[in-house]
């Protein structure tokens, strides 16, 4: 499997790629640099918007704006003007935390998680839901490093991982009307290379997990069985998403910090032979 470096970004913590099918661009972030990126595969241009603090994950909206999870809350961002407008805060009582991973549900809601900026072994992160009316609801407590958020094609299953070294599991939840239930272990990475970082699903309902520190992407069946392993040119892939005109390109971000791989922090792309789904949008 050929993995192409499409942008030698040298990101500190490249994360949260989201494909916009309307503009045919890939949005992604560098959490460490506090920067939002927009990569246009057709031209190779990568435009950067500095945010001045950690920016963790992204939701597309029905219009041209984005919703960004920043260190100090959720914001509406207008790329054309650079305007940033606060929507709501969600962890004012936890100044040691920041947002981390996020994913849109098929129900038009945005699910995102938090973590301590300096994880210390005491779980202080949580899972949240942002509704189109702007309300934020806490769904789950007790996370170290929230990650791996993705929603099944039918919208009925939410995936969530914890990357902490002593946890390193992916869970599945029943998802109905914005509520999660029936938590169960979907995949345990104990004994495998790497830990579960970001994830996505393909059109066939298989879950893709970036195995950070293991230098791999795993394709996992709905039954929790690894059916494919793709070796990456970096040790720390962080998250993947499907994009391209036919949604058959898998884009992968990576972490440059603490990785001595020559391509560490790069944005990469490959064609795995399966397609993804259009990214749902938040009507807010």
Contact criterion met (CB below 8 Å) for 134 and 88? yes
Non-local CB neighbours of 114 within 8 Å, separated by 6+ positions: 90, 91, 94, 97, 98, 99, 100, 124, 125, 126, 128, 143, 146
Helix (H) / strand (E) element for 142: namely strand 136-143
- The set of catalytic residues is 197
Give CA–CA dist 51/126, Å, rounded.
23
Give CA–CA dist 220/226, Å, rounded.
4
Q: What are phi and psi of 256, to 5 degrees?
A: -90, -30
> Tokens 């560490």, residue?
264
Contact criterion met (CB below 8 Å) for 265 and 9? yes
Give burial (CB, 10 Å; 0-12/13-18/19+) of 88.
Answer: exposed
Give CA–CA dist 13/26, Å, rounded.
16
- The helices-and-strands tally (H runs, E runs) of the chain is 0, 24
Contact criterion met (CB below 8 Å) for 79 and 68? no
Give CA–CA dist 55/5, Å, rounded.
23
Give CA–CA dist 251/267, Å, rounded.
7
> Tokens 């094609």, residue?
153
């Amino acid at each position: 499997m050929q993995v192409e470096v499409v942008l030698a970004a040298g990101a500190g913590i490249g994360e949260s790629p989201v494909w916009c099918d309307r503009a045919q661009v890939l949005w992604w972030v560098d959490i460490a640099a506090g920067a939002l990126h927009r990569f246009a595969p057709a031209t190779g241009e990568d435009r950067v918007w500095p945010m001045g603090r950690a920016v963790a994950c992204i939701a597309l909206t029905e219009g041209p704006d984005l919703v960004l999870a920043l260190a100090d809350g959720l914001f509406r961002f207008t790329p054309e003007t650079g305007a940033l407008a606060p929507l709501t805060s969600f962890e004012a009582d936890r100044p040691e935390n920041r947002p981390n991973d996020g994913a849109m549900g098929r129900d038009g809601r945005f699910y995102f998680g938090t973590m301590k900026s300096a994880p210390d072994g005491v779980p202080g992160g949580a899972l949240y839901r942002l509704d189109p009316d702007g309300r934020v609801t806490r769904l789950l407590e007790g996370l170290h490093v929230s990650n791996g958020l993705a929603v099944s094609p039918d919208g009925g299953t939410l995936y969530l991982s914890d990357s902490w070294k002593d946890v390193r599991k992916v869970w599945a939840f029943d998802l109905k009307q914005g509520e999660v239930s029936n938590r169960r272990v979907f995949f345990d990475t104990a004994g495998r290379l790497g830990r579960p970082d970001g994830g996505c699903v393909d059109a066939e309902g298989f879950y893709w997990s970036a195995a950070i520190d293991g230098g791999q992407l795993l394709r996992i069946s709905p039954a929790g069985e690894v059916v494919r392993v793709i070796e990456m040119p970096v040790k720390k892939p962080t998250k993947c998403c499907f994009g391209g005109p036919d949604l058959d390109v898998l884009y992968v971000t990576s972490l440059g910090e603490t990785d001595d791989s020559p391509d560490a922090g790069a944005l990469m792309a490959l064609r795995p032979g399966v397609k993804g789904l259009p990214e749902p949008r938040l009507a807010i």
